[in-house]
Amino acid sequence: MTYRVLAINPGSTSTKIAVYDDVKPVFEKTLRHDPTELEKFGGIIEQYDFRKDLVMEAMRENNVDSTSLHAVVGRGGLVRPVSGGTMKIGQSMLRDLQDPALWGRIHASNLGAFIADAISKELNIPGFIVDPVVVDEFDDIARISGIPEIERKSLLHALNIRYIARLMAKKLGKDSSEVNLIGVHMGGGISVAAIKSGRVVDVNNALLGMGPFSPQRAGALPIGDLIEMAYSGKYTKKELNSYLTKTAGLMAYLGTDSGIEVNQRIKAGDEKAKLILDAMCYQVSKEIGACAAVLAGKVDAIFLSGGLVYNDIIVHSIEARCKFIAELHLYPGEKEMEALCQGGIRVLKGIEPALDYPY
C-alpha cells in the first residue's frame, strides 16, 4: 500500500509544506507570510489557525485532496527532551509547546504540532512530530559540565542529522543500529554529533553552548572574557543573547553570514576572510575529532550536511584535517521535509512504532 503524508514546517515568516507518496514527492511549497499580517495575532501559537487554512488552500491549489492523506506530520519544536523518532501529538505536548518558561522562548517551529493536530482531528487521521531539536539520547557521562549547577544539554539539528544518518547507514549496507557515525550539519548554526549505534550520544549545543562558531553563532568562548562582557554594562541580557546567537561568528568578524560572499572575498584576495573561514573549519574539525574520541576511534563514516556543504573551500578544509578518521560523505542542503514525511511513513508501514510523549 502507498501512504500519503503531509508535512508542515513553520518558520518565523514562512511555512514549508510537502506531500509525499511513500518516497515520491507529490509537491513542495513555501508559503510566505507578511510580518505585519502575523503581528495582529499577538503571539506565535495564535497563528496556527491562520496558517492551517493556508496549508489546506495550498493543497487544493496543487490538486491534493485532503481526504487522500493517511497522516500529517509537524515540525517538533521546543518540547521537553525526548528520544529520537516519530511521536504522537497529544494534549501534554501541546501544553508544553505553549510554555515559554520551558526553554526561555516559544519558537515558530512549535506551531508545527498545533497545525498538524488541527488537520489530523479534522480528517480523523494520525498526527505526529518527528525528531525535534531537543532530541536527547546522551550517555550520562556526556551531561556532566564541570559544575553541578549546569548540565550539558542536547540541542541540535536533530531532524536532518538523524535522517541522514539513516541514509548513510543504508549507503554502507547496514542498519542504523549497526554503525557509528559523526554527523555534521552546517547552516546558520552548526551541530557536530557523535552517533553510536543509531543514537546521538553527544553533540555540541548548536544554539548557545560548546562547539565551533558558525555563520551566526559564537560557539564556545573563553569563560572569563564572557563574564567580563556580561558585567561590562554594555549589554542587557537580551542584547547579549541576541549577539551570541544571531550576529556572532562570521557575521561579527566579516559582516555577513553568506558563505557565497565569503568565498568571493577570498577569491578576490581578502586575507581576513580566508583566516576567519578557515578558523571556523578548524573548529568544526576539532569537534569532529572530539566525537571520534567519544566513539573510541570506531567511526564508520563522517557526513556533512547543510547549506555550507555547497562551499568547496569549507569541505576541502574539513576533509584535509579529518579524512584520517573516516571517509567524508556530502549531503549538501537540508532534507527536513523529506525527513518529516518519511518519519510518518515509517510508522504507517509498521517499520517503527509511534512514540508517546512521555510527560
pLDDT 10s digits, 144-161: 999 999 999 999 999 999
| Res. 336 pLDDT band, cuts 50 70 90 | very high
Give the model's pLDDT for residue 18: 98
Question: Is pLDDT of 337 > 90?
Answer: yes
Mean pLDDT of the chain: 96
Question: Is pLDDT of 226 > 90?
Answer: yes
pLDDT, average across residues 326-330: 98
- Candidates 139, 79, 66; CA nearest to 296 is 139
What is the number of residues in the chain? 359
Give the domains, in start order, of the chain with CATH numbers: 4-134+337-348 (3.30.420.40), 157-326 (3.30.420.40)
Amino acid identity, position 260: I
Distances (CA, A) of 106 to 36, 44, 100, 102, 260: 19, 7, 5, 9, 31
The C-alpha atoms of residue 286 and residue 289 are separated, in whole angstroms, by 5
pLDDT, average across residues 198-227: 94
Question: Is pLDDT of 313 > 90?
Answer: yes
Give the model's pLDDT for residue 209: 77
Give the model's pLDDT for residue 207: 86
Question: Do 54 and 118 meet the contact criterion of CB atoms below 8 Å apart?
Answer: no
pLDDT, average across residues 248-260: 96
Give the model's pLDDT for residue 221: 96
pTM of the model: 0.94
pLDDT, average across residues 179-189: 96
Give the model's pLDDT for residue 71: 98
Give the cell for residue 162: 538523524
Give the model's pLDDT for residue 123: 97
Q: Which helix (H) or strand (E) holds 8?
A: strand 4-10
Give the model's pLDDT for residue 42: 86
| Res. 345 pLDDT band, cuts 50 70 90 | very high
Question: Is pLDDT of 322 > 90?
Answer: yes
CA 219 to chain centre: 16
Give the model's pLDDT for residue 104: 86
* Lowest-pLDDT range of 21-25, 42-46, 315-319, 323-327: 42-46
| Residue ranges in 140-203 assigned as alpha helix (H) | 158-171
Give the cell for residue 139: 550517555
